[in-house]
Structure 1
Amino acid sequence: MVTMAISASTLNGRHHKTALTIFMVIVVAHWAEHVAQAVQVYAWGWPLAEARGVLGMPFPWLVTSEWMHYGYALLMLVGLIMLRKGFTGSSRTWWNISLGIQVWHHMEHLLLLVQKLSGIYLMGRPVPTSVLQLILPRMELHLFYNALVFAPMVVAMLLHRRPAEHAGASCTCALAH
């Protein structure tokens, strides 16, 4: 039997660049969904109930599924943790910032999922509500969260590509001199 498992050392070593690329494709696709939904509401004037992003149009359940949203938040958290060891220097600091923000974002989605499963909603609201959703509407909040996680992640990846950042790194992500 052939095992497809990749060890942590190879994931953050020779497979780091490939893993980061796959991870970023997933992150950018998710980010694009939030941006598309915002465009549908603010540029095209669609009612929020009809603005479901790109994939939400043919699959409307994607927008309302707390399991799907929690699954993505968990995937982001796991990806940030698993790929962290490949970063060194200031790129690791920026990756850690992204990870810290994602920990909070994940907790917010866990809170939403628990509310959906229990039927008991925060502060008596009629729908599952996250802590910061008490201040900001859900669509705008999640657009903000994704931007907040994405920005330091991009900084980390740009710094990570610099040869000077690779002291002690075991991956091949650095650009050639």
Structure 2
Amino acid sequence: MTTLHPAMPLMTRINVDRHRAALNVFMVIVLAHWAEHIVQAVQIWGLGRPRPEARGVLGQFFPWLVTSEWLHYGYAIVMLVGLWILRTGFVGRARTWWMIAFGIQVWHHLEHLLLLLQSITGSHLAGKPVATSVAQLVAPRVELHLFYNTIVFVPMVVAMYLHMRPNAAEYERMRCSCKASAR
């Protein structure tokens, strides 16, 4: 592991000295979001609640959160920024998988941006009564978000697995704090 001078740019410090800690914080955020979607799915398919009443955990206490496009867009941005910021700590195969997750999240973010713009303007896609993403024209929102979260999460997990188990060439190229426990 390289020890950096405190005056080094924050992005460099995050992807070298603090990469493991930053990945852990990012994964807590990702897993908390997953938990919300899983609880919502259990509420719908396990407990038989109507979709408007399936609000996840936070939505039970703050129902307006579930219907707030700002909240969903905010999370999409956090994911996009997190994936982008942490990318330079990855090398080789892990970097490829991480960037696949980033690419998918770009689309997911654009879908949320479209939803947010519709909720702000009141003009909905395809004459729908509520804000609707492009993919929602063919799939229901709850299922769609489970799908999106899955197809972003899987390559992230693959990337982290490969990051912690680099081949010899990747290990030599690693500069981050994860190197100490890799292999």
TM-score (norm 2): 0.91
Question: Aligned partner of 1:155: which letter?
Answer: V
Give secondary structure in 1 for the equivalent of 2:177: coil
Superposition deviation, residue 80 in structure 1 = 0.3
Q: Which residue of 2 aligns with 1:103?
A: 106
Aligned residue runs from structure 1 range 144-159, under 5 A: 144-159=147-162
Superposition deviation, residue 172 in structure 1 = 1.9
Asked if 1:118 is matched to 2:121, the reply is: yes
Superposition deviation, residue 167 in structure 1 = 2.9
Give secondary structure in 2 for the equivalent of 1:79: helix
Q: Which has the higher helix share?
A: 2
Measured in 1, the distance between the counterparts of 2:172 and 2:24 equals 21
Identity of aligned residues (%): 61
TM-score (norm 1): 0.94
Q: Which residue of 1 aligns with 2:171?
A: 166
> Unpaired runs of 5+ in structure 2?
1-5
RMSD: 1.7
Asked if 1:9 is matched to 2:9, the reply is: no
Measured in 2, the distance between the counterparts of 1:167 and 1:25 equals 28
> Unpaired runs of 5+ in structure 1?
none
Question: Aligned partner of 1:96: which letter?
Answer: M
After superposing on structure 2, the runs of 4+ consecutive aligned residues of structure 1 that deviate more than 3 Å are none
Q: Which residue of 2 aligns with 1:55?
A: 58
Is the CA contact (8 Å cut-off) linking 1:88 and 1:167 kept in structure 2? no
Count of residues paired in the alignment: 175
Question: Aligned partner of 1:166: which letter?
Answer: Y
Is the CA contact (8 Å cut-off) linking 1:14 and 1:172 kept in structure 2? yes
Give secondary structure in 2 for the equivalent of 1:173: helix
